[in-house]
C-alpha cells in the first residue's frame, strides 16, 4: 500500500513545482514510509509515497513508460492480485517486463487495453495515469472502494490524492464547509464518503474518470447485476468456499511478512483457517492477532450486538490451527491518549475508540509484519448484522443500522429518535430528517432490481444494497486509515468483487439457511472450522467496557461543553450534551452515548486543528 497525489494543469507549467508536490506527498508519509518519488512535466506532476510489499527494487514509482515520442506516467496505491496471470497474457501480446511488480503490469495493461484495463483487474487499488500524447489524466478506484481517492477540479487544475490532507496542502484548496459538508459531519454520521470540504470530491467505488482540457468523463466501470440464482444449496456453498480459497491464496502473495486478524468469529476464523492451510503447504506457521482491553472482561455485559466474549473462541481457533498467536491488550490510557488519531487520519471526526483500538492493534502488528488479512465485510456481503433479521428494522423506511439504533418503544429521553445533539440553528439549517430521508431514497433508486422478484426478496435486496454501498464504506475507510496510519497493509478477502457479485443474487432463504445469520457461509466453512466456532452467533467488533474510559470521555466532553471558546459550541445542543455527560446511570445513557462523546471530542479538535471555515 502507498499514498498517491498529483497536480494537473493545462495552463500552467508544472515542471518546476516539485517543492509544492513534496508538500502534498509529505502529508501521506505514514501511508508510504519506505520511499518517495516524483515525476514532473509541463502539464502533470505526480508523487508517490511507498510502502514496500512486492518487488522492493522494481516497484519504484511514479513509474513511466515511453513508446516512441509518447510517455505514460503512473502513480498507484494498492495490489493487483491477478497480476501474475495478467503479466503472462500481456507477454503473449508482445509486452516485455523489466520488474516483478504489479505496478508494471498495471501500466502495461493500460497500454494494451486503455481505459478498459480496469475491467481486467482483481484487487484493491486507486491509481492515476497521465497520458502525454492525449494530454489526459485517467483515475480509477477498486470495485468496492477498499482504497480511497479524492480529487478537486478548480479552474484549469486537477488535484488528487489518497487522502483529503494531500489536497488541503495545495494552496488552491481551502477547508471550507458548505451545507453538504456540514451535513456529512453532523447528520450522516453513520455513513461515509464525500470530500467534506468545498471543491473536494471522492471517486466512487467501481468508478473511473478521464480529465482532459475540454471535458470530464466520470463513469462506473463495475456495478452489481441482478439475475436469478440457479445453483442449488450444496453447489452454492461449494462455490463460495472455492472463491474464498482462491481469494485468500492470491492475497497471501507478498515479499514481506503476512499475518491474519483473528477474533474467534466466523469471518476472521475462516480467513485464518484458509491462510493457515496455505502456510502449512509451505511448512510455515501463520501468525494471528487478536485485540482485548484492560478491565473489560470483568465488566462485560452481553447485548444483541456483542452476545459473547471473544477470548475463549480465539484461543480455541489458535490451538485448532496451530498458529503463533498474539493477544494484544489495549490500555484505557492508550485509548484516551490516542482518541484524536482517527480524526487526523480521516481528516474528519470519526468512530472513536473502535478506530483508536484498531490503530493500537495495527501499530503492534507492524512491528512484525507488513500485511494482514481481515474478515471485514462478510457481514455486509452475507447478512450478518442483527438488523438483517429484525422485522421492525427491515420494514423501517430508513437505513437499517439507524433504525436498529433507535430501539423500540422507550421512555429513555436519550434514546428517543427526536432527541438531537445538534443546536437549534444547525437543525433549522440542515433539516437532518429530510436529509437522511433524501439519502435513503436516492440509495433505493440505485438498487438493481430483479424482474418478477417477490416483495420479501426485493426488500432484502434493498437491505443488502444499502449495507454494501452506504455502510460498508464506513468500515473500509476505518480499516484503511487506521492501518495506513501505521504503515500496515490490511487486505479484505470478502471484498473480492467476484464473491460479492455471486452472493448478491443468492436468495435470502439460502443465505440464512439453518435459521442462523450467514448460514450459507457457515455451510461453506464446514470441515475447516470447529463447530463451536463455525456456529458461534455474530458478535460485533469488541469495545472497552472499562468504566474508566467512560469517565474519561464524559469528563472531556463536559470540559468542551463548558469552554466558551470551544469551536463546536455553535453546532451542538449544549443542554442535551451536558445532561448526557453528567448522567451517572449507564443504563440511561446507553452505549450510543460513548460514540457521541468520542465524536464531539474529535469534531471539536478537528474544527480547531484544520482551521475549518463554515460558509
Q: Over the stretch 90-121, which tens digit does the pLDDT of each residue have?
A: 999 999 999 999 999 999 999 999 999 999 99
At residue 364, the 3 state secondary structure works out as: helix
At which of 516, 534, 552 does a domain end?
534
Cα(489)–Cα(212) distance, integer angstroms: 33
C-alpha cell at 41: 512535466
Mutual orientation of helices 472-484 and 353-365 as an angle, nearest 10°? 40
At which of 534, 563, 598 does a domain end?
534
Annotated catalytic, 26?
no
How many Å separate Cα 480 from the centre of its chain? 5
Q: Is residue 464 part of a domain?
A: yes
Q: Among residues 206, 187, 547, 533, which one has the least CA distance to residue 375? A: 533
Cα(360)–Cα(370) distance, integer angstroms: 15
Model confidence at 539, in pLDDT bands (50, 70, 90)?
A: confident
Residues 466 and 330 in one domain: yes
Q: Is residue 57 part of a domain?
A: yes
Q: Tell me how far apart the 2 most distant CA atoms of the chain are, in Å.
A: 74
Task: Kindly tell me the burial class for residue 378, based on how many C-beta atoms sit within 10 Å of its own C-beta (0-12, 13-18, 19 or more).
Answer: buried
Residues 63 and 113 in one domain: yes
Higher pLDDT, 326 or 418: 326
pLDDT surpasses 80 at 193? no
The predicted-structure confidence for 25-78, as pLDDT tens digits, reads as follows 999 999 988 889 999 999 999 999 988 887 777 778 999 999 888 999 999 999
> Residue 322: its pLDDT value, please?
97
Answer positive or negative: Cα dihedral of 56, 58, 60, 61.
negative
Cα(371)–Cα(607) distance, integer angstroms: 33
At which of 185, 220, 255 does a domain end?
220
Scanning 51-170, the segments in alpha helix (DSSP H) are 83-92, 102-113, 164-168
Task: Kindly tell me the burial class for residue 137, based on how many C-beta atoms sit within 10 Å of its own C-beta (0-12, 13-18, 19 or more).
Answer: buried
Residue 529 marked as a ligand binder: no
Residues 524 and 453 in one domain: yes
C-alpha cell at 68: 516512441
Calculate what percentage of the chain has a pLDDT beyond 70: 95
Residue 158 marked as a ligand binder: no
C-alpha cell at 286: 501463520
Residue 347 marked as a ligand binder: no
Residues 90 and 148 in one domain: yes
Query: Could you give the number of structural domains in the chain?
Result: 2
Residues 56 and 164 in one domain: yes
Residue 261 marked as a ligand binder: yes
Residue 291 marked as a ligand binder: yes
DSSP designation for 571: G
In the block, cell 488552491 appears at 172
Residues 243 and 318 in one domain: yes
Domain containing 203 equals: 2-220
pLDDT surpasses 70 at 408? no
Neighbours of 41 (CB within 10 A): 16
* Entry field: residues in the chain: 615
Cα(566)–Cα(589) distance, integer angstroms: 23
Catalytic residue among 2, 117, 208, 495: 2
Predicted TM-score of the model (pTM): 0.95
CB 58 within 8 A of CB 99: yes
CB 302 within 8 A of CB 308: yes
Q: Among residues 172, 170, 193, 173, which one has the least CA distance to residue 181? A: 193
Residues 282 and 349 in one domain: yes
DSSP designation for 526: B
Beta strands in 318-431 (DSSP E): 324-330, 371-373
pLDDT surpasses 50 at 415? no
Amino acid at each position: 500500500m502507498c499514498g498517491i497525489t498529483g497536480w494537473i494543469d493545462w495552463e500552467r507549467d508544472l515542471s518546476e513545482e516539485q517543492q509544492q508536490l513534496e508538500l502534498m506527498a509529505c502529508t501521506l508519509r505514514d501511508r508510504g514510509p519506505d520511499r518517495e518519488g516524483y515525476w514532473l512535466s509541463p502539464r502533470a506532476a505526480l508523487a508517490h509515497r511507498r510502502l514496500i510489499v512486492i518487488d522492493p527494487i522494481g516497484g519504484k514509482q511514479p513509474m513511466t513508460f515511453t513508446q516512441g515520442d509518447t510517455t505514460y506516467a503512473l502513480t498507484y496505491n494498492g495490489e493487483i492480485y491477478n497480476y501474475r496471470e495478467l503479466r503472462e497474457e500481456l507477454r503473449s501480446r508482445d509486452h516485455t517486463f523489466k520488474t516483478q511488480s504489479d505496478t508494471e503490469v498495471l501500466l502495461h495493461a493500460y497500454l494494451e487495453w486503455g481505459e478498459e484495463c480496469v475491467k481486467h483487474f482483481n484487487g484493491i487499488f486507486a491509481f492515476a495515469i497521465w497520458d502525454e500524447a492525449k494530454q489526459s489524466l485517467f483515475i480509477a478506484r477498486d470495485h468496492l472502494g477498499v482504497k480511497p481517492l479524492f480529487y478537486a477540479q478548480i479552474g484549469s487544475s486537477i488535484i488528487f490524492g489518497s487522502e483529503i490532507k494531500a489536497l488541503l496542502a495545495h494552496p488552491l484548496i481551502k477547508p471550507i464547509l458548505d451545507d453538504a459538508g456540514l451535513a456529512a459531519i453532523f447528520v450522516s454520521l453513520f455513513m461515509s464518503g464525500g470530500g467534506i470540504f468545498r471543491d473536494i470530491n471522492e471517486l466512487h467505488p467501481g468508478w473511473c474518470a478521464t480529465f482532459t482540457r475540454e471535458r470530464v468523463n466520470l463513469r462506473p466501470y463495475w456495478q452489481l447485476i441482478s439475475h436469478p440464482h440457479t445453483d442449488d444449496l450444496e453447489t452454492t456453498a461449494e462455490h463460495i468456499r472455492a472463491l474464498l480459497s482462491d481469494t485468500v491464496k492470491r492475497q497471501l502473495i507478498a515479499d514481506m511478512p503476512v499475518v491474519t486478524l483473528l477474533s474467534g468469529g466466523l469471518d476472521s476464523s475462516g480467513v485464518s483457517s484458509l491462510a493457515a492451510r496455505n502456510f502449512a503447504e509451505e511448512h510455515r506457521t501463520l501468525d494471528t492477532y487478536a485485540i482485548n482491553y484492560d478491565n473489560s472482561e470483568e465488566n462485560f455485559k452481553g447485548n444483541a450486538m456483542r452476545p459473547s466474549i471473544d477470548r475463549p473462541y480465539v484461543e480455541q481457533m489458535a490451538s485448532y490451527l496451530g498458529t503463533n498467536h498474539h493477544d494484544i491488550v489495549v490500555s484505557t490510557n492508550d485509548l484516551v491518549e490516542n482518541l484524536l488519531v482517527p480524526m487526523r487520519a480521516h481528516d474528519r471526526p470519526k468512530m472513536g475508540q473502535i478506530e483508536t483500538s484498531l490503530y493500537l492493534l495495527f501499530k503492534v502488528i507492524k512491528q512484525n509484519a507488513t500485511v494482514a488479512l481481515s474478515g471485514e465485510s462478510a457481514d455486509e456481503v452475507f447478512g450478518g448484522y442483527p438488523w438483517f433479521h429484525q422485522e421492525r428494522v427491515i420494514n423501517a423506511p430508513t437505513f437499517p443500522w439507524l433504525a436498529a439504533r433507535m430501539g423500540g418503544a422507550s421512555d429513555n429521553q436519550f434514546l428517543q429518535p427526536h432527541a438531537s445533539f445538534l443546536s437549534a440553528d444547525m437543525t433549522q439549517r440542515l433539516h437532518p430528517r429530510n436529509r437522511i430521508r433524501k439519502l435513503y431514497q436516492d440509495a433505493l433508486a440505485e438498487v438493481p432490481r430483479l424482474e418478477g422478484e417477490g416483495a420479501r426478496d426485493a426488500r432484502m435486496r434493498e437491505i443488502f444494497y444499502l449495507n454494501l454501498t452506504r455502510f460498508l464504506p464506513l468500515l473500509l475507510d476505518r480499516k484503511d486509515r487506521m492501518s495506513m496510519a501505521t504503515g500496515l497493509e490490511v487486505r479484505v478477502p470478502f471484498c473480492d468483487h467476484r464473491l460479492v457479485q455471486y452472493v448478491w443474487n443468492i436468495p435470502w432463504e439460502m443465505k440464512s439457511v439453518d435459521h442462523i445469520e450467514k448460514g450459507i457461509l457457515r455451510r461453506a466453512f464446514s470441515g475447516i472450522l470447529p463447530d463451536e466456532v463455525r456456529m458461534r452467533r455474530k458478535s460485533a467488533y469488541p469495545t472497552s467496557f472499562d468504566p474508566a474510559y467512560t469517565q474519561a470521555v464524559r469528563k472531556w466532553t463536559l470540559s468542551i461543553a463548558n469552554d466558551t471558546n470551544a469551536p463546536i459550541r455553535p453546532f451542538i445542543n449544549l443542554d442535551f450534551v451536558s445532561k448526557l455527560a453528567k448522567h451517572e446511570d449507564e443504563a440511561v445513557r446507553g452505549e450510543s452515548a460513548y460514540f457521541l462523546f468520542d465524536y464531539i471530542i474529535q469534531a471539536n479538535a478537528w474544527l480547531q486543528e484544520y482551521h475549518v471555515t463554515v460558509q
